[in-house]
Amino acid sequence: MSSKILIIGACGQIGTELTTKLREIHGVDNVVASDINTRNLDLVNAGPFVILDAKNFNAIKDCCINNNIDTIYLMAALLSATGEKYPMEAWDLNMNSLFHVLNLAKGGQIKKVFWPSSIAVFGPTTPKENTPQHTICEPTTVYGITKQVGERWCEYYHNKYGVDVRSIRYPGIISHKAMPGGGTTDYAVEIYHEAIKEGKYESFLSKNTNLPMMFMDDAIKATTTIMAAPSEKINIRSSYNLSAISFTPQEIAESIKAEMPNFKISYKPDFRQAIADSWPSSIDDSEARNDWNWSHDFNLRNMTSEMLIQLKKKYK
């Protein structure tokens, strides 16, 4: 029998594309998209959509009962840059939404949960290169703290109450449909839009800031693969390291210049530089590769080609 899925935060950068993919896999009517607002609604309204506040336990519970939901993807969150501006709001949204979903699963209403963590769980004391799965995690952002604590709670709910919760630590995600909002890695999306629209881009990170990144197709593949894996293959119930590519603003600019020789980049680091400097440059994701056969498809060159093709169509 197909799962009946609720996506909370379906109108965000990842939520929109996840909604489309899950509807392809499970059938349009089996995937209810929800968000607190209707930004990007055109990307998710080919199937059921409800307005839902991720901080409202009763609203989530009623939505699950009314739609016979057995699986939740909790994609709502305030990201790293916005979280620094609104620390208490980030804590409130990121933690309460997770508790609501974990408690529904503990009560038996929900059978399976996906909750994204992030490379933001790492901090300045973490080994920067090839960051191991199990290592020092002393995050310095509110967002990172919520993700680190959330990971501990996911593992706790699994061990203590048998909740089938699965999670991956997303790197920066690059996509051409919905824009990201409020992250430190957002520059790597903006740069393509500005390349097509203006032929130039001013980066808010310095030219040698090397961060782990991933094309959206790979992020969606990782998400659907971990959720489809047999439960006994999921040995880590906090969150899996996940990796594809790492690059700097200068390297992404070079990859754009290879296709658009007149493209110009300049650098004006702002408060997000300190956040980026606290994160790793590359991630060791061998546990995800071993446990549930994760592999990525996109490198910087073919990601740039695809981004430019798609955005040329969008802005023509």
- The interface mask with ligand AKB, positions 194-213, x = CB under 6 A, is --------------------
**What is the amino acid identity at position 47?**
G
Instruction: Count Cα atoms within 13 angstroms, Cβ side, for 257.
Output: 12
Residue 139 CA to residue 314 CA, distance in Å, equals 37
- Judged by CB under 6 A, the chain residues 82 through 111 that form the site for ligand AKB are none
Nearest residue to the partner ligand AKB, using Cβ: 183
Choose one: 95-103, 154-162, 177-185, 224-232; the region binding ligand AKB (CB under 6 A).
177-185
Task: Identify the residue among 30, 40, 71, 184 touching ligand AKB (CB under 6 A).
Answer: 184
Q: Does 183 sit near ligand AKB (CB under 6 A)?
A: yes
Task: Give whichever of 23 and 221 is closer to ligand AKB, judged by the CB atom.
Answer: 221
Q: Is 143 a catalytic residue?
A: yes
Q: Does 239 sit near ligand AKB (CB under 6 A)?
A: no
Q: Supply 71's token pair.
A: 């699986």
Q: Supply 272's token pair.
A: 């997000």
Q: Does 185 sit near ligand AKB (CB under 6 A)?
A: yes
Residue in 242, 189, 180 with CA at minimum distance from that of residue 14: 180
Residue 291 CA to residue 205 CA, distance in Å, equals 34
Residue 63 CA to residue 49 CA, distance in Å, equals 11
Residue in 248, 261, 260 with CA at minimum distance from that of residue 300: 248
- The interface mask with ligand AKB, positions 123-162, x = CB under 6 A, is --------------------x-------------------
Task: Give whichever of 67 and 118 is closer to ligand AKB, judged by the CB atom.
Answer: 118
Residue 245 CA to residue 222 CA, distance in Å, equals 14
> Binding residues for ligand AKB, per CB under 6 A?
79-80, 118-120, 143, 170, 172, 183-185
